[in-house]
Structure 1
Amino acid sequence: MSFPVTLEDVNEAHERIAKHIHRTPVFTCETIDNIVQRNVFFKAENLQKTGSFKPRGALNSILKLKEENSNVAGVVTHSSGNHGMAVAWAARKAGIPCTVVVARGTPEVKIQAIKGYGADLVICEPSPTSRVETCDLIAKEKGYFIVHSYDSYNTIAGQGTMAVEFLEEVPELDAILVAISGGGMTAGVAVAAKAIKPNIKIFAVEAYGKELEPCLKANTRLWRNPPQFIDTIAEGIRIQQVGHKTFPIVCELVEKQVFTVTDDEMVEAMKFTWQRMKLMIEASSAAGVHAVMSEQMRQLDPSLKNIGVILCGGNVDVNNLPW
C-alpha cells in the first residue's frame, strides 16, 4: 500500500530542518533492561527545542510553506501546548506572525512559553471542536495558513525524522514504542522506520480511554462524534480520535496490539525516570516508559530484543505536579 508520505518526504524534511533542531541523544538504563529482559533505548525528544518532538513537524511545515508561498501573511494553529510552542518557535525562526489557540486549562508553563516565543495566544473552550472552530475563524479573518499538529502530511514527514535518526543511532532496533494522540508522530515514525527496516514493529501507547485497539483491529473509526478529550493528566496525548490523514497510515503500519496506560501508571513512570535516569519527562513520555516496563511487554515475542521508546516531551509545570 502506498501513502501520501514517503521516506523520501521524510529525508527531505530532515535536510530542511536539521540545522535548526537538536539531534537528540539516546539513553539506556540497566535497571529497565533487567526488568524487561531486553535492551531498551530511549530517544530523548524531551531535550528537543521547546521541550518536545513537535518542532520537527512544525518547522518542516512552515519552511515548506515559505518555499511554496513567498508572501505568507502568518500561521495559526490549535494545540494542547507542545505543538503551539513549536509553531510559535518555528514561526519566529521563519520571521512570520503566529497565533496559537489553546483550550482553557492548558498548563501555565506551556502558555507562558508560547507567549515567550512571540505568538499571539487565544484561549478557547476545552473541547476539540472549539479548538478547531476558533483556529479556522482566525485563519479566515487574518488570511493565515493553518499548521496542523498531526493531520498534515508535512507535519507527519517532519515527525518521521526522529525515526531516521533513531535507526542511524541504533540500527538493531526490533520495535519502537510511540505515544499516540492524533497520530502524527506515530504515523511519521512508522512510515520512516518501516521503509528503512521493513520487519521493525511499531507499537502505539495510549492513555486509558482512547480505545484505539478496537479501531485498529476493525480497520475503521469506531469513536463517537463529536471528538472528545480523554480525561487524563497527559494533556499531550488526550485527543481521543486519531486524525483522518494519520489513521489509514497507523492502521496499515502499526501493530494491532496497543499498550494502554493509566494516569497512576504514568505518575509512577515519571517518578522512576526522574529519579533513576535523571531525565525530566512529562506524563505523555511516561506512558511509553511504563509500557516498556509492563507485563504486556514481557509477554511479547522474545525475539524482539532491542526496543526503542520515544520520550516525546519534557514540559512539566513544576509548581503543579500531577502527584
Structure 2
Amino acid sequence: MNGVKAAPVDLLHVRAASQRIHGWVHRTPVFTCQALDDMAGRELYFKAENLQKTGAFKARGACNAVFLEKERNPNCVGIVTDSSGNHAQGVAYASKCVDLDCTVVLPRGAPKVKCDAIRGYGAELVFCDPTPTARKKMSAKIANETGKTIISSSDNYDVMAGQGTIALELLEEVPDLDAVLVSTSAGGMLAGIAVAVRALRPQCRVYAVEPVGKGLQKCLEAKERLWPNPSRFLNTIADSIRLQAIGELTFPIICDYADSKVFTVTDDQMVEGMKLTFERMKLVVEAASGAAVYAAVHMMDEVQPPPRKVGVILCGGNTDLDNLPWLTRSTTYN
C-alpha cells in the first residue's frame, strides 16, 4: 500500500456498472446529422439517451445503485428518492426490476407526463414544496419512518458510475472525440462521464451546459462552492436541470475531471435546440437536451482550439407534447 486514497469513482467502477446493468438498459444509438454539422462547422455525434429506458439517461445510474443496494443489503425493504421526474422514473423502474418497493418525492408542479410514468412503474408518489430543501427533508422523513434506503439523484457514487457508462459506449463508437457536452443539474452525469473520458481519452474535454443563473463556471474556476445555501431551483423551462448547485459529492470530481469552461444557455436557446432536433433529426427531446444541442451548434468557437469532433448527450426525451414550449411561450422562434 502506498497510502494513496482510491478515487470514489473510477473507470473500474464504470466498467463494473456497465456489466451490472447490461440487459436492463439500452445501448443507445449515436446519430449524426449533416445539416447540423454544416450549421456547426464541425462533426457532431448525438448520444440518444432520449431513447433510453424510462426516456432518459437516469435509468443507468438508478439501476446500478438500486441493484447494488439489493446485493449489499438483501433485507432492504425498499427505496426512496426525490427528483423532478427523470431520476424518479429511473429509480422506480430499477426498483421494479428487483422487486423493491419505491417511494418518490416530487415537487408540486412536476410534469404530468413524468408523474404518470412513475406511477406506471409501480412507485408511490409523495409531493412536497418545490424547493431542494423540502425534497430532501421529505425523503429523509420517509426513510426514517419506513426503513427504506435513499438513492440520491446525483450525490451517490454508484449513480455516477452508472451514468459514466454513457461515455464507454460513446467512445467505443467515436473513439477520437475532441469534446463532449453534458447538460448539468446536480452533476451526476457530468461527473461519471468526465471520469470515464479522462481515463479513456485524456485529450478529450468534457464541458457542462447549464441554464442561466447556475454560475457553475466561476465555482469551477475557484474550485469552491459559491452558491447560496440552501440552494434553490432556477427559473427555467428545463425542469430536469433546475437545481442551482452541484451536489456535494459530485463537485470535487467535476473540479478534477471536467473542463472549467461552462456553456450557459437561455430558455429561448434551449427551445431552438429542441426544434432543431425535432425538425432536422426527427427525435423528441426535452429542453435539457436542447441546451446541449444549441451549445454544440452555436457556441463551440468559444473554446480554443475549437473542437473538430463533438459528442452531444441527448439526455432525455420526456417532453409533454401537449405543452411544447414553443406553443406555450409568447416568444417567436426562427
* TM tier relative to shorter chain: over 0.9
* Paired letter, 2:58: K
Counterpart of 1:319 in structure 2 is 322
Moved over 4 A (4+): none
What residue in structure 2 maps to residue 153 of structure 1? 157
Q: Does 1:231 align with 2:255?
A: no
User: Please, what TM-score do these two structures have when normalized by structure 2?
Assistant: 0.95
- The alpha-carbon deviation at position 291 of structure 1 amounts to 0.4
Distance 1:220 1:108 in 2: 36
> How many Å separate the matches in 2 of 1:320 and 1:32?
25
Q: Which amino acid aligns with 1:66?
A: K
Partner of 1:13: 17
Which residue of 1 is the match for residue 245 of structure 2?
241
| Cα pair 2:105 2:127 within 8 Å, conserved | yes
Per-residue CA deviation, residues 85-111 of structure 1 (Å, 9 max, x unaligned), is: 110011001101000000001000000
Partner of 2:166: 162
Residue 234 of structure 2 is aligned to residue 210 of structure 1: no
Match of 1:298 among 301, 317, 326: 301
Report the 3-state secondary structure (helix = DSSP H, G, I; strand = E; otherwise coil) of the residue aligned with 1:223.
coil
What are the ranges of 5 or more consecutive residues in structure 2 without an aligned counterpart?
327-334
1:226 Cα deviation from its structure 2 partner: 1.2
Identity within the alignment, %: 53
1:2 Cα offset (Å):
5.7
Aligned partner of 1:174 in structure 2 is 178
Task: Determine if contact 1:36/1:298 at 8 Å carries over to the other structure.
Answer: no
Structure 1 CA distance for aligned equivalents of residues 6 and 78 of structure 2 = 32
Amino acid at match of 2:309: N
Establish whether residue 93 from structure 1 lines up as the match of residue 74 from structure 2: no
Q: Is 2:72 the counterpart of 1:57?
A: no
The alpha-carbon deviation at position 300 of structure 1 amounts to: 2.7
Alpha-carbon deviation of 1:298? 2.4
Normalising to structure 1: TM-score of the pair? Answer: 0.98
Alignment equivalent of 1:262, drawn from 266, 272, 281: 266
Instruction: State the SS of the aligned residue for 1:199.
Output: coil
Are 1:43 and 1:309, in contact at CA under 8 Å, matched by a contact in 2? yes
Secondary structure at the counterpart of residue 319 of structure 1: helix
CA contact (8 A) 1:63 1:94 kept: yes
Q: Which residue of 1 aligns with 2:26?
A: 22
Q: RMSD of the TM alignment (CA)?
A: 1.0
